[in-house]
Amino acid sequence: MVCVHEITTTPVIVNSNETRFLTGDRIMWTKMALVALLPILVGAVLILFAQSAICAADHVSATTLGASAPNATPPPISDAPKLAPQCIISSAVEGDVIVRSYPGAQFAELGFLNSELTALGATDDGWVTVGYGERRGWLRSENLRFAGVCDSLPTVRNPMIPTAASDAEVFAVQIDRDNEGSFRNSISTPDGDVNDLLWVTIINLYNQPPNNMREFTLTLECNGTNTDSVRWGWAYRAPTMHCGEAITIPFMIGNSQQPFTITFAPNSPQSYIDYTLHISGGGVG
């Protein structure tokens, strides 16, 4: 809508040589005319004000509207839903099945599985969690018999597996042409720092042989939970190498740096890895 407001003024010519006096009936008619015109004038002012308000509303920017909308917040991950499928567990072995306070044989015993319980979830590494009195209990799955709706039992996080803190997206590692070095860091999945990108640069290469090229062997050493899930390799293609494997790369004066990715295979279980990338010198070019 285009809003145009025009105010037209009509000049009033007053003859300075003539002085007019309103007396008697003229004064009465003037008052009556003002009283009659007052509602019309008020209505006109209200119409103009309404049009101005509509114009102002039409010119609100999209940025302002977007800023007034609440930010979408993803729902938190459910660790053990209160309404889990009816998956009933019971003992599948002779002897006592221990219910522990946390998923690990080193943690305190809360009691024993003396009757059927409802499973609330299961971890990737073989622990089942249940409500045990007023606490959360954990049992090893290989000691249990499952009945009911257990195929859709939720996967829950093992609270004893750490999460790698977020850090830089890219790291630069510099090694002298005649030295060796290493780089250490941590990754985890599905939460935390899932992958690292490392640019390995060999410095002090010279433009004349034999110091214009060096071969370096890179080996990845891993410690932690589910090290078999780690994949690493040259960043220009999908990484396929595993922990413990090595690759030998030539570094030349015109190509002295190479990128490497350290990450997890798709659909990996909950994992936490402390890794060390060893960079050792090879033969002289």
pLDDT tens string 15-74: 333 333 334 444 344 444 444 444 454 444 333 333 433 333 222 222 222 222 333 333
Please provide residue 240's backbone torsions phi and psi, each rounded to the nearest 5 degrees: -125, -10
**Per-residue pLDDT for 193 more than 70?**
yes
Q: Could you tell me the sign of the dihedral formed by the alpha carbons of 243, 246, 247, 252, in that order?
A: positive
Rounded-to-integer distance, Cα 99 and Cα 107, Å: 10
Looking at the domain assignment, is residue 214 inside a domain? yes
- Collapse the DSSP code of 119 into the 3-class scheme (helix H, G, I; strand E, B; otherwise coil) and give the result: strand
How many structural domains are present in the chain?
2
Looking at the domain assignment, is residue 111 inside a domain? yes
The 10 Å CB-count burial string (b at 16+, else e) for 123-141 is bbbebbbbebeeebbbbbe
Identity of residue 123:
T
Domain of 132, CATH number, reads: 2.30.30.40
> What pLDDT is attached to residue 83?
56
Phi-psi region of 95 (alpha: psi -120 to 50; beta: other; left: phi over 0): left
Burial class (CB within 10 angstroms; exposed 0-12, middle 13-18, buried 19+) of 161:
buried
Looking at the domain assignment, is residue 105 inside a domain? yes
pTM for this prediction: 0.67
Looking at the domain assignment, is residue 33 inside a domain? no
User: Could you give the count of Cα atoms lying within 13 Å of 53 in the half-sphere of its Cβ?
Assistant: 6
pLDDT digits (tens, 9 = 90+) for 90-130: 999 999 999 999 999 999 999 999 999 999 999 999 999 99
Spatial CA neighbour of 84 closest among 135, 124, 141, 129: 129
| Contacting residues for 221 by C-beta, under 8 A, at least 6 apart | 243, 244, 275, 276, 277, 278
Q: Which residues pair with 220 in a beta bridge?
A: 277
Q: Does residue 189 share a domain with residue 239? A: yes
Q: What is the CA radius of gyration of the chain?
A: 40
Q: Does residue 200 share a domain with residue 124? A: no
Domain residues for 239?
170-284
On average, the pLDDT of the chain sits at 78
Within 10 A of 231 (CB to CB), how many other CB atoms are there?
A: 20
